[in-house]
A and B are shown apart, each in its own frame.
Chain A
Amino acid sequence: MYDIQDLTRVYHMGRVGVRALDGVSFTVGDGDMVAIMGRSGSGKSTLLRQLGLLDKPTSGKIIFDGREVTRLSERERARLRLKYLGYVFQEYALLGELTAHQNVYLPGMMLGQKKVDYRARAKELLEVVGLGARTRHYPRELSGGEQQRVAIARALINNPRVLFADEPCANLDTISSRMVMETLVKLNHEMGLTIVFVSHDPEDKRYARSLVLLSDGTIEKVVMLV
């Protein structure tokens, strides 16, 4: 599904160039659940943003379903994000003026697929993540774990091919973290959804099928866990 070839991302801070990623190459298969791990500053989130088409690499190639998507225009990238990719941010990133239900169905409304009742689907997804009774609540009325599960439901509204989760449990307590990770596992196992998540907690590798370990912007190792 994903073929990452020699990916490099250099951030320019004044005259100084910082290599956040340096020649990263690996593949992600259909239905995989990949954990990207490494120490703080190793380039985990930077790598995920390249895969999620939120940022453009300095060099290298990203091939998605056999098509190179590295240099697409912002409009095309937005369309791909909307149709094929779901993204869960570390800090929930819900829209505070929308209810949980509206937050979830907004990307569905945007895609506007015929014969798809995005409102009904949003309710179903909120049921799937265990928030069927909280549809009319606003983000500030939900706990951190609940908000993160709303964000997961939102990422699923358009039936994406891949779900990216950037340290989804970083701001959560242990119980909420476990619920969020178990939700992701359930989606991967039961719906066959490809999931790529970033975590700094080594314990989280137990949820993954494969592991990409980063160190200083380069791949230290890629391990198949199951």
Chain B
Amino acid sequence: MTRIMKVAILLAFTSITRGHVGVVLLTILILVLVALNLFFVPSLLRGLVGGANDKVVNTYSGHIVVESAEDSPLIDNVDGLATRIEAINGVVATSPRTNIGAELSYDDHRVTSVIYAIRPEQDAKVFTIREHLIEGSYLESRDLDQILLGVQVSGSDRENLEFYYRSLRKVHAGDRITVTFNSGLQKKYTVKGIVYTEFLQTDLQAFITEREYRNLNSLSRNRASSIRVKLSKDTDVQWAVDQIKNLKNGLKLTTWEDNAGIIRSMTDSFNVINAILNTVNLLVAGITVFIVTYIDVSNRRRQIGIQRAIGITPYSITISYLIRAVFYGIVGIAIAGAVFIYGVVPLEARFPFRFPFGEAYLSVDFSHMTRIGLILLVVAVIAAFIPVRRVISTKILDAIWG
């Protein structure tokens, strides 16, 4: 075995170092491009899915939504429950919210929207909405007659918005709009700020303070339609759900994944697309390596015939080509990995792709890259093996003299 390997290594080494530079570079270049493709697409989809999920958690639902499962849509003694939830290990913050159906109007334009009554300081501990202000300022607890609008509601003269033609179109911070609540109550509000989270479902919302809502409905004190819960990174969501369930009967708990809605079906589709693209890319990689090796081996047919004629075993010859394939594979994957991590990822971070739910950044997953690299190596070895076996199985004289 040792002598077979020694001969194979000598043949592989000399053919790499003394072989046609163009063929060596072309083979490595092809593998670099294939590997880059295999790294790029899943990273983009992963970045896309991760970004969308983050938006769901950080701007829309929090990690867990606690609601009333009883006849009343409101949770009673919400302050007490929120305090007990915050005492659970891994819970970072809670924010009670009450949603109110309403119609908003400005000039001739009307929009139906959900208005959330929130405690701004507490809400800002669960959500990052405050960081997405594009006009005006965020709500404060004492605010009355003030409203915070999502940009898809205000329009704000941004004609490129997805829902611009269904928005109030030209509303900016400081403008006064009319809100007609489902109860029939109508009131004028000053737009305190406008947020643009780039997550469509959040940007279609509006917010007032809980204090303002208490003025409208005195029965709402210490009650809310939901409590949004933020967890620390390493806390298992399902475990936290079970802990909260134990606190009180008559609660309905949903996770951010349950609330992801369209995003969830989108991520499922992305995972399928990802799997299909990976399979196709690996097939393309295999066929490419096969073709390059086939042409190379065909050009070396005579050399292989001579090697066999002087007594070099088919094993040694085959292994020498497999070593070459592994070498090309490792070099190609290493170059592709370096180009991807130090070139493509920083470049994409500077000029990110934009989607309706925000910017998508390439997500580097080293375990995934290693897995892809190993699969690509195996594919390269198999693709090299087939043409070599074909030439090896021809008669020596046919190999030498054609």
Contacts and interface: CB of A to CB of B under 8 A. Distances in A.
Contact of A93 (B15, B312, B400): B400
A55 B397 contact: yes
A183 B370 CA distance: 57
Interface string A77-100: 011011100010100011111100
Interface in A47-100: 49, 54-55, 75, 78-79, 81-83, 87, 89, 93-98
Interface stretch (A106-114, A127-135, A210-218): A106-114
A54 B401 CA distance: 12
Interface of B, secondary structure class, is helix
A106 B10 contact: yes
Interface string B94-107: 00000000000000
Nearest to B13: A97
A102 interface: yes
A127 B123 CA distance: 90
Nearest to B303: A95
A97 B18 contact: yes
B306 A93 contact: yes
Interface string B1-32: 01110110010001101110000000000000
B316 interface: yes
Nearest to A160: B311
Interface in B344-402: 395-397, 400
B310 A107 contact: yes
Contact of B309 (A54, A75, A110): A54
A154 interface: yes
A112 B311 contact: no
Interface in B313-328: 313-314, 316
A197 B18 CA distance: 33
B310 A106 contact: yes
Name, among B4, B310, B313, the residue most crowded by chain A CB atoms within 10 Å (CB to CB).
Answer: B310
B46 interface: no
Interface string A116-151: 000000000000000000000010000000000000
A54 B395 CA distance: 9
A71 B298 CA distance: 28
A54 B100 CA distance: 91
B7 A81 contact: no
Interface string A22-49: 0000000000000000000000000001
Given A54-B396, A54-B397, A81-B310, A109 B7 contact: yes
Contact of B311 (A93, A98, A102, A111): A111
B17 to A, nearest CB: 8
A143 B31 CA distance: 39
Contact of A78 (B3, B15, B311): B311
Given A93-B306, A95-B303, A98-B14, A110 B396 contact: no
B307 interface: yes
Contact of A109 (B10, B19, B309): B10
Contacts of A107: 310-312
Contacts of B10: 98, 102, 106, 109
A106 B309 CA distance: 12
B311 A96 contact: no
Given A109-B3, A111-B3, A78 B313 contact: yes
B309 A81 contact: yes
A98 B13 CA distance: 10
B308 interface: yes
Nearest to A158: B311
Nearest to B307: A95
Contacts of A95: 14, 303, 306-307
Nearest to B14: A97
Nearest to A105: B10
A171 to B, nearest CB: 15
A89 B400 CA distance: 10
Given A97-B19, A102-B10, A110 B303 contact: no
Contacts of A82: 310-311
A225 to B, nearest CB: 29
Contacts of B19: 97
A106 B7 contact: yes
A82 B312 CA distance: 8
Contacts of B312: 106-107, 110
B117 to A, nearest CB: 79
Contacts of A94: 306
Contacts of A97: 14-15, 17-19
Nearest to B310: A107
Nearest to B1: A112
Contact of B303 (A49, A89, A96): A96
A42 B15 CA distance: 38
A110 B311 contact: yes
A193 to B, nearest CB: 17
B310 A49 contact: no
Given A75-B313, A79-B311, A106-B7, 15 more contacts: A49-B397, A81-B309, A81-B310, A87-B310, A93-B309, A95-B303, A96-B18, A98-B14, A106-B312, A109-B6, A110-B313, A111-B311, A138-B18, A154-B310, A155-B310
6 contacts: A55-B397, A89-B309, A97-B18, A109-B3, A110-B311, A112-B6
- Top 7 nearest A-B pairs (CB, nearest first) are A82-B311, A112-B3, A97-B18, A97-B14, A93-B306, A81-B311, A107-B310
Interface of A: 49, 54-55, 75, 78-79, 81-83, 87, 89, 93-98, 102, 106-107, 109-112, 138, 154-155, 158
